[in-house]
Structure 1
Amino acid sequence: MTDNETALPWLVIRQDEGGNRYRVGRYATRAEAERVAERLDTRGNQRLYVVERVGQGAS
């Protein structure tokens, strides 16, 4: 891991309808990343924003 990955290990990822994934931001804590994802997610029951730890992406 790089220094940046160690300091900001939590990612907010936006996934579109086609399955494409885009990194929105990096955060120091999971709680901080979850707050950002919740604030960005306006569709309610269909989650477009997910929180992942660096290196733990979808397979």
Structure 2
Amino acid sequence: MTDSGAVLPWLVIRQDEGGNRYRVGRYATRAEAERVADRLDSHSHQQLYVVEKVGRAVG
């Protein structure tokens, strides 16, 4: 059986003004995660959406 982290290694994280971070979703590719983060970010003025790879920050 495969590890789901290997199948969906890209995370979209929402960070609020207080620095609290919440996982929004997991995605198979960085491009897919970035599309979701960009779409969410365009609708929000209070939170920041970032893309990270499981196990390390991407930037």
Coarse TM-score class (shorter-chain normalised): 0.7 to 0.9
Write out the 4+ residue segments of structure 1 that deviate beyond 6 Å after TM superposition: none
Calculate the TM-score normalised by the size of structure 2.
0.83
Mind listing any 5+ residue stretches in structure 1 that lack a counterpart?
none
Identity %: 77
When the two chains are superposed, the root-mean-square deviation of aligned CA atoms in Å is: 2.2
Task: Provide the C-alpha distance between the structure 1 equivalents of 2:23 and 2:17, rounded to a whole number of angstroms.
Answer: 15
Give CA-to-partner distance per residue, 1:1-59, whole Å, 9 cap, x none: x7110000000000000000000000000000000000000257x8700000001149x
Calculate the TM-score normalised by the size of structure 1.
0.83
Task: Provide the C-alpha distance between the structure 2 equivalents of 1:37 and 1:19, rounded to a whole number of angstroms.
Answer: 17
